[in-house]
Amino acid sequence: MQTLILAVNKPALAYAKAGVAFYEERLRPLGKVEIRYVKEGSANDVADAMLRASEGYVRIAMDERGMNWSTRELEAQWRSWQMDAVKRVAFLIGPADGHTEELRAACEMTLSLGRHTMQHELALLVLLEQVYRIHTLLAGAPYHRD
């Protein structure tokens, strides 16, 4: 399953840049996870760019008001996408002020990384680590603990 992560602007904070590179490196052998950045702009411009970039994907809006799943629940969702032969899933991390209503409406679901507000570069890092963790679970590797 092709996985796309969309975020606004490349990380500017050095630690976030290093963290994203770290998980990208680990995910690279799997060849299926791609991060793309859209340019900062008005909420509508960002939404339009994200919707264009995720055309043909099952879209997941990342938002602290969404469902906060455990890693095992996200893994179960992942397996169910695979069983349903879903080919492309995109995770959309909103700009600082959150996603527009139009973008939310175009998404299949809204997932949360917790109810707390996070710097969006840090949110990207947390999401990437989840995606990496799910892949180790799917591969039966011992990285995860419950």
Residues in touch with its own copies (CB under 8 A)? 13-16, 18-19, 21-22, 64, 68-71, 73-74, 96-97, 112-119, 122, 125-126, 129-130, 133, 144-146
Measure CA 84 to chain center: 20
Nearer to its own copies, 102 or 143 (CB): 143
Nearer to its own copies, 56 or 141 (CB): 141
CB of 19 to its own copies, least distance (A): 4
> Which alpha helices (H) appear in 11-70, and where do they start and end?
14-27, 43-53
Q: Under a CB-based contact definition with an 8 Å cutoff, are residues 7 and 19 in contact? A: no
CB of 52 to its own copies, least distance (A): 25
- Which two structure tokens, joined as six digits, stand for 55? 């055309």
What is the C-alpha separation between 2 and 94, in angstroms, rounded? 20
Nearer to its own copies, 10 or 144 (CB): 144
